[in-house]
Structure 1
Amino acid sequence: MAVNGSAGEGIPAKLTGQVVVCSIIAAFGGLMFGYDIGISGGVTSMDVFLKRFFHSVYVKKNHAREDNYCKFDDQYLQLFTSSLYLAAVVSSFFASKCCKKRGRRITIRLAAVFFLVGVALNAAAMNLMMLIVGRILLGFGVGFGNQAVPLFISEIAPPKFRGGLNVCFQLFVTAGILFANIVNYFTSSHPYGWRISLGGAAVPALFLAIGSLMIVETPASLIERNHPERGLATLRKIRGVQDVQKEFEEIVATTELAKQIKHPFKNLMKRSSRPQLITSALLQIYQQFTGINVIMFYAPVLFQTMGFKSDASLLSAVVTGCINVVATLVAVFCVDRVGRRFLLIEAGIQMLIAQSITGVIIAKFLHATNVLPKTYSFVVLFLICFFVSGFAWSWGPLGWLIPSEIFPLETRTSGFFIAVSTNMICTFIIAQAFLTMLCRMRAGIFFFFSVWIVVMLIYAIVFIPETKGVPIDEMNEKVWKKHWFWKRYFMPKPDHYLNRKNKNGSMKKCSKLSKKKRK
């Protein structure tokens, strides 16, 4: 994903305090994103919030003898959660343009502004419209932040430390989810608890806003925007050494090469780009259809459905949040040791076991109006933690890492944009549809996600190559061209493609072209 991605050998660089501080400040964009993910589920389980904005859901939950699976089935309630991700899809396109034309730092600053305005509207909301508009503005912040922050960290980090620093973004996302769950737990009984919870997003947003005034612009962005002298000075500053000429020349060379690509999205449609495009898009689809965001968005709602009281359901969400953070740290230390494929396959099996057994228990013991027996409730909580841990050290961080490293330079930016957009679209679909699916499918929803896990597990085993330790610019030669299936996309088209009749029936022309090519 970084412009000078494969550089590293023979380049003098220190891990300076400047780089560490800038990376942490930028990673607060991930904390903001994680807080947005985690806060909605807790808020939508609070009675005072439901009574004010979703009164019919409040009545079903507290006063009507309602089906366990349908208590929270409300399209507007789902829109409160999902509107953020639909806005993020749209804004990420404009964010990619802003990153290129105005720089990474200003894009991060705009993300902070969107976050702060969205937080203010949500915390002060007097009606549903204010609430939804606030969520949409938060979605703009997510789109700008998710596009700029990983790119920013990759470009300022020394090559040998790039992987670890980049995972900070994902680590901060999980920390944000945990932070949100803790806030929800302590504010749930307060009359204005939902305002405090939604307003709590101002803490990481303010930190990002103030920090965005302090961070440096990346050398790659400065050079790309025709400021080579400033780029060289910044490079010396963040590397902590004067001898940066080799890295500077590599950035200049790759930037000049990138400028020659006038239509990156057109290049992305070429036959040789299909392996990376298909794999990165499917990774995002599989990541969301594991069912992970059902737990992240709606954990308190899900636990209340199973019979946990309000406080207990929020505390259970805190437990899963802690597991999420710890397991992400496992990924930081293991991904470059055991490899990507091993983690994807192992975790796929782990998540399949957890989802399947959870589905069996709920199908057998949770009926329309009863409460899940206490023992089985804790078994389900354990299984959900087991599921979350597997996701957090595999499909969570690797769903972002692999797309960032498999594209060649000429399609890297456009390819990663497609990955981000696919992820946000799938996140929107899950967030908007889950409560309705739970009502209609009941325990079958867990088997629905289990089927998806089987599909993605097969894909990981058969089609995902190992990319551990392979320089980005050598990925095609060392990975894709040697893969048993994907290598065919790098070979010349066979004669039967050339000899195929076109609409005018000009078979002879095709045959002559084929003979000419063979000569």
Structure 2
Amino acid sequence: MSIMSNSRSRSSWCGLWPGSFNMETELTIRGKSFGGIFGSSAKPRSLRVQPSDEDVEDLLPSNISGKPSGTVLPYVGVACLGAMLFGYHLGVVNGSLEYLAKDLGITQNTVIQGWIVSALLAGATVGSFTGGALADKFGRTRTFQLDAIPLAIGGFLCATAQSVQTMIIGRLLAGIGIGVTSAIVPLYISEISPTEIRGALGSVNQLFICIGILAALLAGLPLVGNPIWWRTMFGITVVPSVLLALGMTISPESPRWLFQQGKISEAEKAVKTLYGKERVALVMHDLTAASEGSSEPEAGWFDLFSSRYRKVVSVGATLFLLQQLAGINAVVYYSTSVFRSAGITSDVAASALVGASNVFGTIVAWRLIRDRLPTKSNLRRRQIDISDSLCPFCSIKDETASHLFFECSKIQHLWWESQSWIGTSGAYPINPRHHFLQHNIGMKGGKIYKRWKCWWVALNWSIWQQRNKVIFMNAPFNGSKLLEDALFVAWTWFRAMEENFTIHFNFWSSNLPAGFQ
């Protein structure tokens, strides 16, 4: 089995296909023996790496310079105004409900009070269903600007309401607005964030929702001395709504959306604004690879209940359901009334303390899940004493997740070989998601798709196991054993998942292209 990679000019590649080299790769697979680059003595097949002018490790691209990652933070901050408005509109009714009920003459009518509270959620339901469609049709920034209209009008109507009807209409409009933001804020942030800080920014949306709830609870502190302050609390929301619309006029559109619309030149301009001109080619290449890797037919709502997605959707929906059944909504909407009923004098202040604990918990959770993989670079960042930060396999570059699993010269050949098993070819991205999708080209579900997913996980798991043996047991790198372990794990999973899969491991592993079909 061979994989040929002809030389290309160095300036022409933007992924991880090396430039300016010739490589012929053959991997020995006979029973449980794997050779080639791993130094096996097996003769029928061998793996030979013959760089033309440079060492193998030099074939990997060096870090491409560009604008600092922090240059996207102002645009992320503008988008987070939508998340903060989401949280503010959720919590603003907490402290103000009693006072607006007196002002509107519905103190004794708890049903109408409940309608005022729940009207926001009714509108949010509509907005959440339409937000994604609007973002796909008009673009992310234009949708933000359109979304600012119901947010501003809703806040204004609530602040000036002289009747229950006006108040409910205002809450409905505000609900539509926050429903749309719930869909497009995390979408926009993920699409403009550079890969190196995308994980860190992934939780910013939730953090600003909690900050918005806290701001609403703090805004209620003057209510005791000024009963009509509740109107100001609602009116305040007009300001960030206008700022959101204005901010999006100077924010770049999502490069991914522009690319999907075929606006290549505009996408390159957006990338240049976000990351600098040095990274335009690299980002555009990643967008191309991702679009090719995820080229599947349009999915409808009923597809969510198909066998392919049923488990994932069920787990996600159950988690959200349990979150709601835990009673957090009752705390957000009625904690002031609960504290008052419990005899706590400073009921609004107590609610503000609950909001502060919510923000604190979000920050703690964010820190717990951020960069938890204990690679050497992460350990050094946490000031854990280690001898060096180099990759334990090649001892040339720093050990990061992308390098360890995908870039290292002793690992790349395994992935190249895997491409031949499933019949794909193309650039070699190091972003884990893009890397998976790159090998997913042309697979529309079915057996080959499931087997590839198992192999992808099995190989990464085996790489991590080999890494731990090298570091903690001073074992030498053994690529043959690594590949054997990964294949055995994948074969075991196939046996467990596929009823008719009864092939012996030695026979299966001796003809892997057929074994993955």
TM-score normalised to structure 2 length: 0.60
Which range moved further: 9-18 or 152-161? 9-18
- 1:204-228 deviations in Å (ceiling 9; x for gaps): 2222122122211010011111201
Q: Which residue of 2 aligns with 1:316?
A: 350
SS at match of 1:261: coil
2:365 equivalent to 1:331: yes
2:245, 2:105 → 1: CA distance?
30
Match of 1:22 in 2: 75
Contact 1:49 1:194 survives alignment (8 Å) = no
Label 1:22 to 1:147 Cα distance change in 2 as closer, same or farther (>3 A). same
Q: Which has the higher contact order (CA 8 A, sep 6+)?
A: 1
* Cα deviation 1:143-196 (Å, max 9, x = unaligned): 111111111000000012012122221111111111111111113431421111
* 8 Å CA contact 1:24, 1:168 repeated in 2: no
Offset, 1:54: 1.3
Q: Give the structure 2 partner of residue 49 of structure 1.
A: 101
Is 1:221–2:273 an aligned residue pair?
A: no
TM-superposed CA distance for 1:269, in Å, is 3.0
Per-residue deviation, residues 66-109 of structure 1 (Å, max 9, x unmatched) = xxxxxxxx222112111111211122222111111111111111
Q: Is the 8 A contact 1:299 1:317 kept in 2?
A: yes
| 1:215-294 matches, cutoff 5 A | 215-256=251-292, 258=294, 260-294=296-330
- Matches of 2:363 and 2:67 in 1, distance apart? 23
| Structure 1 position 36, deviation (Å) | 0.7
Distance apart, 1:474 and its partner CA: 4.6
- Output the CA distance in 2 between the equivalents of 1:289 and 1:78: 18
- Which of 302, 327, 344 aligns to 2:338? It is 302
Query: Is this contact kept in 2: 1:187–1:196, CA < 8 A?
Result: no
Unpaired segments ≥5 residues, structure 1:
1-8, 58-73, 340-468, 496-519
**Greater C-alpha Rg:** 2
RMSD of equivalent CA atoms: 3.1
Do residues 129 (structure 1) and 181 (structure 2) align?
no
- Give CA deviations for 1:291-338 in whole Å, capped at 9, x if unaligned: 1121111110111121123xx100101111122222222122211355
Q: Give the CA deviation at 1:267.
A: 3.9
SS at match of 1:314: helix
Deviations 1:233-262, CA, capped at 9 Å, x for gaps: 211221124243232122124335556422
Residue from 10, 35, 38 that aligns with 2:88: 35
Equivalent in the alignment of 2:119: 83
The 5 Å alignment of 1:107-186 reads 107-186=143-222
**1:110–1:144 contact (8 Å) kept in structure 2:** no
Q: In structure 2, do the counterparts of structure 1 residues 263 and 119 end up closer, same or farther at CA, with 3 Å as the change threshold? A: same
Residue equivalent to 1:387:
none
How far does residue 15 in structure 1 lie from its aligned partner after superposition? 3.6
Work out whether residues 156 and 238 of structure 1, in 8 Å CA contact, stay in contact via their aligned partners in 2: yes
Separation in 1, partners of 2:149, 2:315: 34
> How far apart are the structure 2 equivalents of 1:161 and 1:331?
17
1:471 positional shift:
4.4
2:245 aligned to which of 209, 227, 238: 209
Contact 1:267 1:273 in 2 (8 A): yes
State the alpha-carbon separation in 1 of the partners of residues 224 and 112 from structure 2. 21
* Structure 2: 5+ residue stretches without partners: 1-60, 374-430, 438-452, 462-488, 502-517
Q: CA deviation at 1:266?
A: 4.6
Distance 2:353 2:366 in 1: 21
State the AA in 1 paired with 2:114.
Q
Which has more helix, going by share of residues? Answer: 1
Aligned to 1:55, the other structure's residue is in SS state: coil
Distance 2:175 2:435 in 1: 33
Question: 2:184 is aligned with what amino acid?
Answer: A
Aligned partners of 2:104, 2:166: CA distance in 1, in Å? 13
Cα distance, 1:470 vs structure 2? 6.9
Q: Distance in 1 between matches of 2:361 and 2:288?
A: 38
Alignment coverage as a number of residue pairs = 338
